Amino acid sequence: MDYSFLAEAQTINNDTLASLMHDYGNDVWNYVYFLTRNTEQADDLSQEVFVRAYTGIANYRGDCSIKTWLLTITRNTTFTYRKSRFFRSSLWGETLSLESDQGDQFGSRKTMRERSVYPSAEIEVIRKVHINEIWDIVLALPEKFREILLLHLRYELTTVEIADMLRISQGTVKSRLSRAKDKVRKQWEERSE
């Protein structure tokens, strides 16, 4: 759906909100989950993001894509929550699985059986082990590198969009992205030896 009309909107209807949730719900939920590593918090904060988008649509000027705008709200909402006393006092520590078949509250949960391709069990196990090892490396990176990698690789944001979203220069984005990739590559090679 083309959301360019939202740059002029003062309010949005329920159908448009439902469409936004359908089109970007996975991205919002996964980004919150990546930042919090907790499914319950991802569920709650994802809903909060769309409530804020619904009530704050008049603040969307169309300077960036609707996806970038929603991810900015997601980031700000999550960081506000992380600063709260409740978050600091809660216990969380689930292991992040990077598989998209975990699903989320906005989309369907697909299992391997529901997909059209059936790799052998051995290949599937090896693939999951490698993916989890790489994500373990990514999650161990300092947050400034971890977040840049997520936004660039997972959400395919450009350096300009990332710079605007994080309020840093494009040069800083490029530098952090390069350094983050180098760190992951180096640690992957060390583990593979």
Query: Could you tell me the domains of the chain?
Result: 1-91 (1.10.1740.10), 119-193 (1.10.10.10)
For residue 123, the model assigns a pLDDT of: 66
Q: What confidence category does residue 135 fall into, taking pLDDT thresholds of 50, 70 and 90?
A: confident
Tokens of 140: 């161990």
Nearest Cα neighbor of 106 from 180, 30, 166 is 30
CB 50 within 8 A of CB 27: no
Q: Residues, the chain, total?
A: 193
138-165 per-position pLDDT tens digit: 878 898 898 898 888 878 889 999 999 9
Nearest Cα neighbor of 148 from 118, 184, 98, 94 is 184
Q: Give 131 or 181, the one with higher predicted confidence.
A: 181
Q: Judge if pTM exceeds 0.85.
A: no
Is a pLDDT exceeding 90 seen at residue 98?
Answer: no
Is a pLDDT exceeding 70 seen at residue 85?
Answer: no
Nearest 5°: CA angle at 147, between 98 and 4?
Answer: 95
Tokens of 46: 């994802």
With a pLDDT cut of 70, the percent of the chain lying above it is 73
